[in-house]
Amino acid sequence: MAQRMESVAPPGGVMLSASTARLVDGAAVLGEPEMVRIKGAEEPVPAHRLLGMGERHPSVGRVESTLVGRRWEMNAVEGLLHRAIEGHGAVVGVVGPPGIGKSRLVRELSAMAASRGVEVFMTFCESHTSHIPFHAVARLLRAATGVEGHDAQAARDQLRDRVSDADPEDLLLFDDLLGIADPDAVLPRIDPDARRRRVTALVNAASLARESPAVHVVEDAHWIDAVSESMLADFLTVIPQTPSLVIVTYRPEYEGALARGHGAQTIALAPLSDPETTALVSQLLGPDPSVAALGQTITERASGTPFFAEEIVRELAERGVLRGEPGAYVSTQDTAEITVPATVQAAIAVRIDRLNANAKRTLSAAAVVGTRFTPELITALGIQPVVDELVAAQLIDQVSSPAPRAVAHRGGRRFGCGRLLWLR
């Protein structure tokens, strides 16, 4: 399909298939759908022309459902925000698998902070920038210093107004980090470690001098570049002495420096309970009797992951299975075969790709067995079961049962996005 899209793209342009367009929703600026004829397809297929890329986080701008569950988590971050406003800063890690609600928690906190007049500065890490030095830290510091959107000279002037007593050589290094350096300026000739230490000292001094409260957010730290990780870890050492709250989100497999910071607190997001998932799906679908049975099926398939529930409903609406508006849908079919949206497939596939070969074989066999499995059942299939890695990756749950040991897969075999339950 990618090759076919290339063949119909205008000279110097890019065309996206419908599925790719969904994956970049919010991150790319796309043209209106066009019907194009491609080789191998009898009928024209929809495509979108790529017009440009934005700096916004992909999730920004999407219609939000009312937050369901997470009462304890929201109370915890609200309390930490209150303490930060009073001058007692904190660093909090929010950890969970894709789609569990890390970004949503951050957006709720950001709105709460903004309503109290607290500035929010954000950076987000991306898989394709994980090897670009300074990418994440420079983005955060540009936001925090207020130079984003200014031309280089205006940005340098503003920076010097904020840290007027800084060493001129340190300011030259800081200009270079922020991408606002004067092309005629000569940078100090020092080794990279010394450069990092001097910039870190400058940033920490500015943080300690700050009097107004602030929230700093680092999203998806599992993709952070190594230099940014090292610098941010140094920045976090002074946060408890400042009126700042730092939120770092990451997936369970991340074990880097930002997840091990001294004194940092951790909030681990678990799947929503069945009643909470039901409430979310009911909110998304609406009260019409025609969607009642469909709602139950979506609840089972989503397996407590809010993003999965939202994407399934969205995909069904785009396919025409649901007609109407969010919160007021009507089903056009008595029964619907729910397929996995591309965004959900991608989230699961990436997690599975990180497993070693033995863990992948165990997961594949367990999905075939059904919603519940035991190590003995996997062994009977001629596969040596590997469960520790799957539990750590939150792809299976270990539970206890008085019945013979077995494992369950909440999402159903065909859907394949729910967790497996390893009973002991």
pLDDT at 235 over 70: yes
Instruction: Please report which helix (H) or strand (E) contains residue 8, including its range.
Output: helix 2-8
Model confidence band, residue 418 (pLDDT cutoffs 50, 70, 90): very low
In residues, how long is the chain?
A: 424
pLDDT of residue 415: 32
- Cα–Cα distances (Å) from 27 to 22, 23, 224, 391, in that order, read 10, 9, 19, 32
pLDDT of residue 412: 34
Rounded to whole angstroms, how far apart are CA atoms 147 and 80? 28
Residues 96-143: pLDDT tens digits? Answer: 988 899 999 999 999 999 999 999 999 989 888 889 888 999 999 989
Residues 25-40: pLDDT tens digits? Answer: 778 889 999 999 998 8
Strand ranges, E, within 147-276: 214-219, 244-250, 265-268
Assigned CATH for 74-268: 3.40.50.300
Q: Are 388 and 422 in contact (CB under 8 A)?
A: no
Residues 63-80: pLDDT tens digits? Answer: 567 888 899 999 999 999
- Output b/e per residue, 318-345; b: 16+ Cβ within 10 A: eeebbeeebeebebeeeebebebbbbbb
* Among 392, 389, 373, 390, residue whose Cα is nearest residue 381: 373
Among 113-127, 237-251, 343-357, the least confident range: 343-357
* Among 31, 29, 97, 33, residue whose Cα is nearest residue 58: 29
pLDDT at 408 over 60: no
Average pLDDT over residues 345-365: 85
pLDDT at 57 over 60: no
Average pLDDT over residues 10-20: 91
Domain ranges in the chain? 2-53, 74-268, 274-343, 354-423
Mean pLDDT, all residues of the chain: 85
